[in-house]
């Protein structure tokens, strides 16, 4: 048995050695020029005499995780630097597990790495259980974080799995001397309970929380202690009922809120917010922006009344909600004169199966005229789920007549993103009979009212082609 173990160890060393030599060749080291003496030196686990040790440590820190680990099997110098490797990116790929690996094997390998790491000099720590079957690392996590979360760490990513007992992230770690270094914090599937005792995170620029148990007032406590925050992304955090972004976040430019089912109030006072994305918050009743610098706004699956504040700087607008067509037809011409990109989805309003608005072919007067407003900025228009609804045809005609800057027009007669031909999804949405029955009317509406007024300078796609 000892002989077999030695043979396996020797094979691993040879494999690691060959990987390191190949890596050196890619990077243009002496190996690339056939320097056999350098290779022999490497095999004797002695650094090249012409380079100081700190240079080798730096070279080692630039290697991908797997290459760095293999190099540590060959060289005492690399082994020493491995124990203080600055970038610990731990997932099933870097650990070397196959797709069906279980959580137990993953956790044991990670634990072995963490036990052999000094915890000194860690800049990036990413622990990702994505694609690993079964999660059993709860008993390890506290000790692992104690090793790496120290002054100097810049990025902390903890992507866990759904379990009956959620991991309680120790907020005390955020107060133990890392306030001036942590820049990026990403947490999935855990409990986060920040309190008023939390110190200011002076360098935190990006915060991403997904499926994290955190209440609205706790999140606001965390935000009030993050004055340098630039990006905030909140996904599926179902305990948040009210979220008010404070005006103290002077640098916040990007806000994304997705799938927070309990959220009822969302208010922004961050003065320099430029991009605002809200989707899937079905119970949201108040959505308010109180700052003047918003240039990109998208909302989908949100029934809340919109209050976007001053919109003169708005350049990109996407709406997937009831009454989006009415809003675009009645409100946008006067309040967003600098709009460049408009994407509208309004399934309930113009649904092919049971339209709320009358068809353009109904027995009534002709198209209504919208007060004309010249638009010099709108360049791109896409309407998903286009049909023969009268209001939709009127909106399209209005844009074609008044938007002199228009470059691209897409009338997509199918609602939804799952399209085999676009390769955005492995499957396609089922197209119901009512939608197929509406298709001839859609085409007739386009040919009768729209096709003849499309400028030659506009690139058309979708049903117009």
pLDDT tens for the chain, residues 1 to 465 = 556 656 655 565 555 555 555 545 554 443 333 344 444 444 444 444 566 767 776 776 677 777 776 676 776 777 666 777 888 888 888 877 665 556 567 888 888 888 888 888 899 999 998 766 666 667 789 999 998 898 999 999 999 988 778 899 998 888 767 888 999 999 999 999 998 778 889 999 999 999 999 999 999 999 999 999 999 999 999 999 999 999 999 999 999 999 999 999 999 999 999 999 999 898 999 999 988 899 999 988 787 778 888 888 899 988 887 777 667 766 766 678 788 888 877 655 555 455 455 677 766 656 666 656 666 778 888 887 788 888 788 888 888 888 888 899 888 877 655 555 555 555 566 666 666 777 788 888 888 888 888 888 888 876 554
The pLDDT value given to residue 201: 92
CB contact at 8 A, 380 and 408: yes
Helix (H, G, I), strand (E, B) or coil at 382: strand
How is residue 325 written in tokens?
A: 């067509």
What is the rounded distance in angstroms from the CA atom of residue 147 to the CA atom of residue 151?
Answer: 11
What is the rounded distance in angstroms from the CA atom of residue 312 to the CA atom of residue 292?
Answer: 8
The pLDDT value given to residue 131: 63
CB contact at 8 A, 171 and 149: no
Helix (H, G, I), strand (E, B) or coil at 379: coil
What is the rounded distance in angstroms from the CA atom of residue 320 to the CA atom of residue 332?
Answer: 15
CB contact at 8 A, 226 and 250: no
Q: Which residues of 220-245 are buried (b: 16+ CB within 10 A; e: fewer)?
A: bbbbebbbbbbbbbbbebeebebbbb
Distances (CA, A) of 6 to 13, 20, 206: 10, 21, 47
Nearest to 66 by CA among 93, 102, 106: 93
The secondary structure element, H or E, covering residue 289 is strand 286-289
What is the rounded distance in angstroms from the CA atom of residue 92 to the CA atom of residue 239?
Answer: 31
Length of the chain equals 465
The pLDDT value given to residue 91: 86
DSSP state of 102: B
The pLDDT value given to residue 44: 46
Please give the torsion angle defined by the CA atoms of residues 276, 281, 287 and 290, in that order, rounded to the nearest 10 degrees.
Answer: -30
What is the rounded distance in angstroms from the CA atom of residue 35 to the CA atom of residue 248?
Answer: 59
- CA dihedral sign, ordered 300, 303, 304, 307: positive
- Strand order, beta sheet including 305-307: 242-245, 265-268, 286-289, 305-307
Instruction: Quickly count: other Cβ atoms within 10 Å of residue 114's Cβ.
Output: 20
Helix (H, G, I), strand (E, B) or coil at 457: coil
CB contact at 8 A, 165 and 139: no
Name the E strands within 160-215. 167-168, 184-191, 206-213
């Amino acid at each position: 048995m000892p002989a077999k173990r030695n043979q396996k160890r020797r094979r691993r060393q040879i494999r690691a050695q060959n990987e390191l030599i190949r890596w050196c060749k890619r990077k243009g080291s002496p190996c690339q020029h056939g320097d056999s003496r350098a290779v022999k030196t490497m095999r004797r686990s002695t650094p090249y005499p012409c380079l100081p040790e700190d240079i080798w440590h730096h070279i080692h820190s630039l290697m991908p995780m797997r290459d760095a680990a293999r190099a540590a099997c060959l060289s005492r110098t690399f082994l020493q630097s491995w124990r203080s490797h600055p970038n610990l990116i731990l997932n099933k790929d870097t650990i070397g597990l196959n797709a069906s690996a279980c959580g137990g094997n993953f956790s044991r390998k990670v634990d072995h790495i963490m036990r052999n790491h000094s915890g000194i000099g860690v800049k990036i720590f990413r622990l990702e259980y994505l694609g690993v079957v079964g999660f059993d690392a709860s008993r390890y996590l506290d000790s692992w974080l104690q090793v790496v979360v120290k002054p100097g760490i810049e990025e902390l990513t903890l992507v866990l799995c759904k379990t009956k007992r959620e991991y309680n992230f120790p907020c005390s770690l955020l107060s133990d001397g890392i306030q001036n270094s942590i820049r990026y914090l990403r947490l999935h599937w855990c409990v986060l309970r920040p309190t008023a005792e939390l110190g200011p995170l002076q360098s935190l620029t990006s915060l991403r929380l997904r499926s994290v148990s955190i209440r609205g007032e706790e999140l606001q406590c965390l935000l009030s202690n993050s004055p340098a925050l630039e990006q905030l992304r909140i996904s599926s955090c179902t305990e948040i009922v009210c979220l008010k972004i404070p005006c103290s976040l002077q640098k916040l430019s990007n806000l994304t809120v997705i799938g927070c089912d309990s959220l009822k109030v969302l208010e922004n006072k961050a003065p320099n917010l430029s991009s605002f994305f809200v989707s899937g918050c079905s119970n949201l009743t108040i959505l308010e922006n109180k700052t003047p610098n918003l240039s990109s706004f998208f909302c989908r699956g949100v029934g809340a009344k919109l209050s976007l504040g001053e919109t003169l700087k708005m350049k990109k607008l996407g709406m997937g909600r009831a009454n989006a067509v009415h809003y675009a037809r009645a409100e946008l011409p006067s309040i967003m004169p600098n709009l460049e990109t408009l994407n509208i989805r309004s399934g309930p309003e113009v649904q092919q199966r049971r339209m709320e608005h009358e068809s353009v072919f109904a027995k009534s007067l002709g198209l209504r005229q919208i007060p004309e407003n010249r638009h010099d900025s709108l360049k791109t228009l896409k309407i998903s789920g286009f049909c023969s609804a009268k209001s939709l045809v009127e909106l399209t005609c209005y844009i074609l007549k008044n938007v002199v800057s228009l470059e691209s027009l897409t009338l997509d007669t199918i609602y939804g993103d799952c399209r085999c031909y676009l390769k955005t999804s492995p499957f396609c949405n089922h197209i119901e009979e009512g939608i197929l029955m509406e298709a001839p009317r859609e085409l007739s509406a386009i040919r009768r009212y729209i096709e003849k007024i499309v400028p030659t300078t506009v690139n058309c796609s979708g049903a117009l082609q």
